[in-house]
Amino acid sequence: MSKKIRVLFELVQEYYWPAMKPVYEQFASDSRYECSIKVGFNHTRFLGIFLIRQKGKIEQKFRDLGFTITNETSGFDLVICGDTLKYPEIYGDAILCNVDHGPCTKSLRYRNLLKQPNTKYVVCAEGPYRMQKLKEYGLDQSEIVRDVGLPKLDPFFTGGYSRKTIEERHNLDPKKPIVLYAPTYKPTSIFEVVTTIGNLTNDYNVVVKLHPYSWSGKYAPHKQHRVFEALAKKNPAVVLVSPKEHDIMPYLFAADTMISEGSSVINEFLALGRCGIIFDMDDDNQKHSDGEPLLVEKSTEWLKDSFIHISHADQLADAVYNAVHLSPERKIALEKDRNWIYSCTDGTAASKVKAVCEELLSEKEKF
């Protein structure tokens, strides 16, 4: 019996899993591979000071689901990661495949790759736009860049999600459109949108899905979730998704429109061919600690023909109406932008990642 090829899925943050799961399923269903998951610390902040590890709880959850959990880093042939690895050297000569947990318009992915000039990753791009940006940063010369689509989206196109499931889980009115508010934690529109989003509940199902960091308190203040907990208590028609639910993908699939700012979910919702709403932020004030811009694209310009842009919370009702009732011109723009961002929207991205990895594994064995 030939030795199995060992594949490690480095799950630094639990919310990376939806991006990695379709790739995991491709390898796990192939008897030639042995798959393991390594879980990161996943800190939450307590009393504004103390960091509490959630690693053990998450590991047990995955064990209960039948996954193999490990803390080893050596002896693997392939490592799948949702971001750059903190200490890439500890994985030895394994091939490092970066599928990225949420491609968006932030500069973070490029910054992280450039910080590790001596480490070569297989960098998975979702389509023409990302290939162009990777080239602009010179990463097509330092990494192994491949256009494979976005595995995270595969279940959209393979029957992996159901709108009815979301309606029944949260007792939504099936006769009303679903409006999903899914802000990122930085830069965020939370404190503007919370003032008016409750007014939409007469005509729409309103669902709020916050970023995991908005709950944990490590990278964003706890106030980000507390203002929505207060709103949901005051207006029970506003559905606040539990922080235990990390996967936003079923909610994107169910939504008729969604609202965000610089989050990757803007691009992911685009793949469905539906119109989203972008809350424009003050781009000039959004910077990393070293002064580099947080976003590589101005929020006011991003998807400006296909998505609706607003800059004040009092514009929300009109924006939602126009997003749900699409003009023919916007439908054309949506299709154009979707083809610009994604090379495939047919559920085959994860299999393409596997094919790229197998090609490199074969070359590694040959040489």
Query: What's CA 281's distance to the chain center, in Å?
Result: 20
Whether the pLDDT of residue 69 is over 50: the answer is yes
**What's the CA gap between 338 and 275, in Å, rounded?**
11
Sheet of strand 238-240, all strands in order from the earlier edge strand to the far edge: 238-240, 205-208, 178-181, 257-260, 277-279, 308-310
Q: Of 21-25, 98-102, 150-154, 158-162, which gets the smallest average pLDDT?
A: 98-102
Question: Which residues 6+ apart lie within 8 Å of 190 measured at CB?
Answer: 183, 210, 214, 224, 227, 228
Cα atoms in the Cβ-side hemisphere of radius 13 Å centred on 333: 15
**What's the CA gap between 277 and 259, in Å, rounded?**
5
Whether the pLDDT of residue 319 is over 50: the answer is yes
**Annotation: CATH topology of 158-341:** Rossmann fold (3.40.50)
Spatial contact of 39 and 71, defined as CB atoms under 8 Å apart: no
**What's the CA gap between 42 and 128, in Å, rounded?**
33
Which residues of the chain are in CATH 3.40.50.2000 domains?
Answer: 5-150+345-361
More confident residue, 317 or 184: 317
Token pair belonging to 157? 């196109």
More confident residue, 215 or 164: 164
Q: pLDDT per residue over 258-278, tens digit each?
A: 999 878 899 999 999 999 999
CA angle 336/337/340 to nearest 5° reads 95
Average pLDDT for 278-284: 84
Q: Which pLDDT value is given to residue 47?
A: 67
Average pLDDT for 50-57: 86
CB atoms within 10 A of CB 176: 16
- Identify the CA nearest to 168 among candidates 244, 245, 236, 254: 254
Q: Got the DSSP string for 130-161?
A: HHHHHHHTTHHHHSEEEE---GGGHHHHTT--
**What's the CA gap between 54 and 317, in Å, rounded?**
38
Supply the mean pLDDT for the chain.
93
Q: pLDDT per residue over 215-236, tens digit each?
A: 888 888 999 999 999 999 999 9
Task: Categorize the per-residue pLDDT at 367 as very low, low, confident or very high, splitting at 50, 70 and 90.
Answer: very low
Whether the pLDDT of residue 49 is over 70: the answer is no
Which residues of the chain are in CATH 3.40.50.12580 domains?
Answer: 158-341
CATH number of 5-150+345-361: 3.40.50.2000
Q: Which pLDDT value is given to residue 114?
A: 97
Q: pLDDT per residue over 302-315, tens digit each?
A: 999 999 999 999 99
Q: pLDDT per residue over 129-142, tens digit each?
A: 999 999 999 999 99
Q: In this prediction, what percent of the chain has a pLDDT beyond 70?
A: 97
Q: Of 114-128, 218-232, 276-290, which gets the smallest average pLDDT?
A: 276-290
pTM (2 decimals)? 0.91
Average pLDDT for 3-29: 96
Residue 278: enclosing H or E segment and its boundaries?
strand 277-279
Average pLDDT for 138-164: 97
**What's the CA gap between 236 and 105, in Å, rounded?**
34
Whether the pLDDT of residue 366 is over 90: the answer is no
Spatial contact of 357 and 95, defined as CB atoms under 8 Å apart: yes
Whether the pLDDT of residue 291 is over 80: the answer is no
Average pLDDT for 16-27: 96
